[in-house]
Structure 1
Amino acid sequence: MTKRKLSLGLAMTLGISQAVWASGYQFDLQSVRTQANANANTAEASDPSTIFYNPAGLALLDGTQLTLGSSMVDPQSTFSYSVATTGGGQTVTPGNTGGDYARQAAIPHGYVSQRFNEQVTLGVGIFVPYGAPIDYEENFVGRYYGKGIDFKSLAINPSVGIRLTPHHSVGFGISAQYLDIDMETSVDIVSVAFGTCLAGGGSPEICQPLVVGYGSQPDATASIATKDWSYGYNIGYLFTPNDNTRLGLAYRSFIKHELNGSASFDVPTSLPGGAASPINAGIAVALADSEAQVDLATPETLSVNAYHLLDRRWALMADVTWNRQSRLQRIDIDIATDLIPDRRIVYQTAWRNSWRASIGFSYLADENWTWRGGYMYDQTPVAHSSYALTVLPDASRQMYSLGGSYQLNEQTSIDFAYSYLKFSDAAINRTDDDHIAANGSPGTLTGSYRTYVNLFGLSLTYRF
């Protein structure tokens, strides 16, 4: 039994890389005030959250300021399907649509700024840039393409804003970014047995009757846990031609991660033939626990934004952001063992670069109340349904936001926001492991997702 064929026998059934990375993983909203304007007010630079959006805005802040807040994500998503088969071409049974698989999540953030002198303001932000809490019910029909993911992240972003002249400011920040990704997928034990038999020199005609008894066995489960710290930077420029207008340009770098951890497999204990079966011995080798490594880079972004005060009450604002998602063309999961040193699963994702655009307004009702609103269109990086991912199906989306600010006193203000995020219907048409023939196939999955999300935000800003 060659190592190459044994690796192929495993690859025929594992869809784990779909859980490694999911489109739509990026949390764009790192400020409740910005959420209320649907990401349009990034040139306003009115509180320390400008550290995330444009560090040059720090130079416009006075004294010491602290912002603490969180946005609650309440997703509602349904899945329907027309085809779901195993790698052997059999209908996936038992099978269901996955239930209430998209989990609620809170996105906290905190920022503090301190003016050092007339030209320099220092600050630091702590926020959650990425995440994906997905957990399908048992017997989800797409479980061989990914059953769940718990994608956690944290970024610490010290920054400095420098006022070069009354009209020109620049900013720079360093990001220490932590990713922690746990993934789980089901493995069709019949397909593993069949692939192992073929790897041992058997023909399809010989192997087919030998693996019939495995059809009564439960699935195996593959779990991968990886984590990593890495570093990047962000820079910004802000032009204020007058007291009423601000024009911004901001860039946040990609961050390359080498996530390391473990791959573990839960295999049924009472397989047909027992310990003497060469097929079972091959399954044990193919599904042996190992270390795991995943290399990936989070996307860089480039934003152009504007803020204009029409009069003492009304302001208009806009933002256009480009995301370089095309760095993610494929996912490699290295799960080598001593017996299979080249054990690796490779998938194409073929992401494209994407963009989003926002417009918004604010209205100063009186000395205490300011009302806000905005609209955003955000393009998906997923180019085709054959690259869609079960662990977080993505589609282009529209956001409608309303919110406001209430000035409690000279030092304290509260921001609140509600946003409705509507996704376009997302088709999934998966087969042959994203067109990598050497990976075999965990089966075929054809279906569609419908999703909308309610977002609720609340934050407090205190000026010392």
Structure 2
Amino acid sequence: MQPKYLTLVIAAALAATSVGANASGYRFGSQSLSGQGTADANGAEAADASTIFYNPAGLSRLDGTQITAGATVVVPHSTYNDTGSTHFTGAPTNGTPAKDYAPNSVTAPSLYISKKINDQWAAGLGLYVPYGTKLDYGNTWSGRYALTNVKLESITLNPSVSFKLNEHHAFGFGIDAEFMKAELGQAVDVPGSIAALSSGAGAAQGALLIRQITALGGNPALLRSAQDAHGSNDAKDWGWGFNLGYLYTLDENTRFGLAYRSSISHQLRGSTVWDFSQVTTDPVVNQVLAAASHKVNSAALVTLRTPETVSANVFHQFDSKWAGMADVTFTRNNRMGNLDIQFPGTGEGAEVIRQQWKNTVRVSLGGNYKYNQDLTLRAGIAHDESPVQGPELTHPALPDSDRMQYSVGANWKLSPRSSIDFAYSYLDFKDAKLNYTNQCNPLSTTCTGNGETTRGVYQTHLSLVGLSYNYKF
């Protein structure tokens, strides 16, 4: 399948949801249970080793050796109502309704380890899921010419160090080793192509197909009942980046943080496979149609850069029980403009994906309440912008929209050395409208695409439930 959709999927920068995340784009937004409980407003808190992700300078505040291991389960609920998807010819696609395309749940793990080396230096290692999604619409839904299924898995290794200059200033640095793997599928509009070649300007080419089928002993009458072909793609890559942090401690109750995470360049390489075997019951007809499509099994290549992020945050301890915090994160999504998808070693034209993402801002507020010596309660609220600019640039691989996040959480001390964190978040998305048209049709020899228009409305909300275990040596 055309790796174009790989870009959408991995776009990553994707700024940052879909069915496995709570930050906009494809970025998985829950890398820490203590963070999730405050809607990720805790960048300047540095409560545990997960500060490696939010602000590595926070390692300077942690004593001894600490381990935080957890997992977040995402439970999505999403419905899609088609409002008139069409073939490139303008005829309705007449597909089946999209049902159960989102999984019952998706689980993402995280692991952080920190070590205080001396009064100035500390080090740590983070392992977490930066991006993720999984959607399976089936091969017969109304938007099948845009996408039938997509799965994105990723993981980041993030070794980090911090340096405490004095009681006020601490700095952090980390290296990001990011792995991505994607699988996706798409129908090929054979029925629409045959309809376009049955009359008018395409009649001569249609007549040639019939002669070729007849000469090879096939049955051209089966063209009238031809079904879709299908394409599938998989690709993977390692990419490298870095993150920086700065923590300013005003006094024992107040601190401010700044954090930067760089973009990461990826060259996702894999394979593309086209399947015309089920178009008709006649192998000869299928063979001729496959040759006429100019689609051949080949390598796949997508080059992209994830966007960088900049965060500013604050933490203040009001008294022995109450603490408040806030975070503002800017994501430079406009790196994800139109993308050229290449099919190395073939004569198949590249596909241009109109994406043109916009930069986004996420704002979150949170608080802690120390109920007693063993139990601390958390809560937070956040507003997150979608990088998608409008219905004409919204694709079924990323039915994203602005959303609100409401979170609660708790930390319960099991002993002086161990504790558990719990967090629950509810994400309420605005309706996402689609009116996306692929500007290349399957009869073109200079580019790749079905030329489809996918029109519909998504209604989505997510629940995230997480649990982590913390231990201090």
**2:319 aligned with 1:305, yes or no?**
no
Give, in angstroms, the shift of residue 397 of structure 1. Answer: 0.5
Alignment TM-score, normalising by the size of structure 1: 0.90
User: 1:429: which partner in 2?
Assistant: 435
Give, in angstroms, the shift of residue 343 of structure 1. Answer: 2.8
Matches within 5 A, 1:13-32: 18-19=8-9, 21=11, 24-32=25-33
**2:131 aligned with 1:133, yes or no?**
no
1:444–1:407 CA distance, 2 compared to 1 (3 A):
same
In 1: Cα distance, 2:128 partner to 2:113 partner? 12
- Checking the alignment, whether the CA contact within 8 Å between 1:348 and 1:434 is kept in structure 2 is no
**2:382 aligned with 1:376, yes or no?**
yes
In 2: Cα distance, 1:271 partner to 1:117 partner? 71
**2:273 aligned with 1:275, yes or no?**
no
Give, in angstroms, the shift of residue 90 of structure 1. Answer: 2.2
Q: 1:294 aligns with which of 286, 302, 305?
A: 302
Give, in angstroms, the shift of residue 374 of structure 1. Answer: 0.4
- Checking the alignment, whether the CA contact within 8 Å between 1:18 and 1:145 is kept in structure 2 is no
**2:244 aligned with 1:235, yes or no?**
yes
User: 2:356: which partner in 1?
Assistant: 350
1:434–1:374 CA distance, 2 compared to 1 (3 A):
farther
Q: 1:392 aligns with which of 398, 401, 415?
A: 398
User: 1:71: which partner in 2?
Assistant: 72
In 1: Cα distance, 2:87 partner to 2:192 partner? 8
Structure 2 SS opposite 1:394: coil
Root-mean-square deviation over aligned CA pairs? 2.7
- Checking the alignment, whether the CA contact within 8 Å between 2:439 and 2:451 is kept in structure 1 is yes
User: 2:411: which partner in 1?
Assistant: 405
In 2: Cα distance, 1:215 partner to 1:53 partner? 58
In 1: Cα distance, 2:376 partner to 2:318 partner? 15
Structure 2 SS opposite 1:311: coil
- Checking the alignment, whether the CA contact within 8 Å between 2:350 and 2:447 is kept in structure 1 is no
- Checking the alignment, whether the CA contact within 8 Å between 2:227 and 2:280 is kept in structure 1 is no
- Letter paired with 1:331: L
- Letter paired with 1:388: T
In 1: Cα distance, 2:59 partner to 2:290 partner? 62
Q: Deviations over 1:273-323 (max 9, x none)?
A: 86389953633x622100000111111100000000000100010000000
Structure 1 SS opposite 2:434: strand
Q: Deviations over 1:180-206 (max 9, x none)?
A: 0111111111245568x69xxx93244
In 2: Cα distance, 1:243 partner to 1:112 partner? 25
- Checking the alignment, whether the CA contact within 8 Å between 1:194 and 1:208 is kept in structure 2 is no
Q: 1:454 aligns with which of 448, 458, 463?
A: 463
Give, in angstroms, the shift of residue 269 of structure 1. Answer: 5.1
Give, in angstroms, the shift of residue 249 of structure 1. Answer: 0.2
Q: 1:204 aligns with which of 197, 202, 205?
A: 202
1:15–1:356 CA distance, 2 compared to 1 (3 A):
closer
User: 2:85: which partner in 1?
Assistant: 84
**2:340 aligned with 1:322, yes or no?**
no
Alignment TM-score, normalising by the size of structure 2: 0.88
Q: Deviations over 1:152-203 (max 9, x none)?
A: 00100000011001110000000111000111111111245568x69xxx93
**2:264 aligned with 1:258, yes or no?**
no
**2:227 aligned with 1:244, yes or no?**
no
Query: Any gaps of 5 or more consecutive residues in structure 2?
Result: 15-24, 211-219
- Checking the alignment, whether the CA contact within 8 Å between 1:19 and 1:184 is kept in structure 2 is no
Identical pairs, percent? 37
1:208–1:62 CA distance, 2 compared to 1 (3 A):
same
Matches within 5 A, 1:413-424: 413-424=419-430
- Letter paired with 2:275: D
- Checking the alignment, whether the CA contact within 8 Å between 2:28 and 2:132 is kept in structure 1 is yes
- Checking the alignment, whether the CA contact within 8 Å between 2:101 and 2:135 is kept in structure 1 is no
In 1: Cα distance, 2:370 partner to 2:325 partner? 14
Structure 1 SS opposite 2:75: strand
Matches within 5 A, 1:84-123: 84-102=85-103, 104-123=105-124
- Checking the alignment, whether the CA contact within 8 Å between 1:380 and 1:394 is kept in structure 2 is yes
Q: Deviations over 1:313-339 (max 9, x none)?
A: 00010000000111000222212444x
Q: Deviations over 1:355-413 (max 9, x none)?
A: 10000110001100100000000000000111111023000000000111001111001
Structure 2 SS opposite 1:47: coil
Q: Report the number of matched residues.
A: 447
- Letter paired with 1:295: T
In 1: Cα distance, 2:286 partner to 2:82 partner? 37
- Checking the alignment, whether the CA contact within 8 Å between 2:227 and 2:278 is kept in structure 1 is no
In 1: Cα distance, 2:226 partner to 2:285 partner? 18
In 2: Cα distance, 1:185 partner to 1:445 partner? 13
Give, in angstroms, the shift of residue 214 of structure 1. Answer: 3.0
In 2: Cα distance, 1:123 partner to 1:237 partner? 16
- Checking the alignment, whether the CA contact within 8 Å between 2:5 and 2:184 is kept in structure 1 is no
User: 1:161: which partner in 2?
Assistant: 162
Give, in angstroms, the shift of residue 346 of structure 1. Answer: 1.3
